[in-house]
Amino acid sequence: MKNYAYFIFIFVVVITIFSLLVKDVQKLRTQTLVLKNEIYGQDIYRSQLIDLYFIAASLYYNFEDSSVVNDGTKNVLYDEVIEFYSRHSEHNFIKNLHKYLDTYNSDIDSNFLMALVRYLLFDCTKESPFNKIVLEEFVADISEFYSDTNSHNFFENSYQHYNSLDNFINNIDFGLLDNLISEIDIYLERKDFSENQQYTIVFSLFRPYMASFYNSNDNYIAILSPYGIDRDFEYNENQIIKTLVHEILHCYINEHVHKYEDYILQNVEMFNWHKSEFNTRAPYANMDWHRIFDENLVRAVQAKIYYTFFKSEDAIDYILRDEYEIGGFKKAYDFYDSLDAYEISRNIYDGIKEYIPQIINKVFER
């Protein structure tokens, strides 16, 4: 009888532990809705699974590349990551993580990241370079890593960081972003823009000042850092608004620039340009020519929009100075100047998409 009671006790304990583990994994796979802004059409999320992907990538690179996870000099959370996860570098998930990384640039794979976000939030794999089987396999593998490493302890101990982020998000002035989006529509003449546009934003504490953006039907999806570009790891509302405007511009401008890829290459060959003359820093210097072009053009257009909205010369340098001096965008001001003729000839062109060939002529001519 005692043996039977002991067996029942052990069985209950095992089931209880298993249930807790299942709940932990379910929590990992569940995205937290921090803010639903119905006035301006924004849904803002946090995701432990996305955060763990960044952490795993930084572990794969031995915490040596600050483009993956935040530089530890001023960030307490980064030190906590190193302390907790360093001993797990030989886990099978980490050893095989290269399948989901951009190892050429020692970074995460932004295409995979966006596919993963669309799958997690919307169960959507349409037009994705990664099919549902691949994404399900990844989620299963990272869930196993989460359980094996007792990552629930790490995230529970980080609750104060998440609470701080949530409070910050709920106080962002998204009205300013909405006004700047209106300026985008006017400047680009986005006649094909949908009034029902939604913005889904996923914030991560484990990504320094960088962003990824994707346009899916009437929903722009962003993965965003809350920090400023100076890496002081203070939440920076102005940088967030600036980054969102930048990425929204990409979603419209890139597709139209891509149509002129051949014409861009013709000009590159005709005038014997080298990528280092346009940009001196990775990853931009390693991009295809049409991507180098759209990265410069987006920055120039944003500077024009900020100048128009804030009515200040300082707004131009706020967008372009760091890009020129630190980011390596050597043609940033040339692209800016190339837009002057567009502004005085708006009646000639059907929006900026028709003016792109003129920009190509201006910035490539020696």
pLDDT digits (tens, 9 = 90+) for 255-292: 899 999 999 999 999 999 999 999 998 788 889 999 99
Give residue 100's pLDDT band: very low, low, confident or very high (50, 70, 90).
Answer: very high
Residue 221 has a pLDDT of 86
pLDDT of residue 223: 87
8 A C-beta contact, residue 145 and residue 24: no
Band (17; pLDDT cuts 50, 70, 90)? very low
Residue identified by tokens 């040339």 is: 334
Residue with tokens 């069985």: 11
**Mean of pLDDT values over 226-254:** 83
Q: What are phi and psi of 61, to 5 degrees?
A: -90, 15
CA distance 54 to 50: 7
**Is the pLDDT at 206 greater than 60, yes or no?**
yes
Domain ranges of the chain: 31-173+194-224, 259-364
Indicate the pLDDT class of residue 194, thresholds 50, 70 and 90.
Answer: low
pLDDT, residue 139, reads 94
Average pLDDT for the chain: 85
Contact 255, 292 (CB under 8 A): no
Note the pLDDT of residue 21: 44
Give the pLDDT of residue 232: 62
Distances (CA, A) of 255 to 97, 249, 260: 30, 11, 9
pTM here is 0.83
The confidence score (pLDDT) of residue 274 equals 96
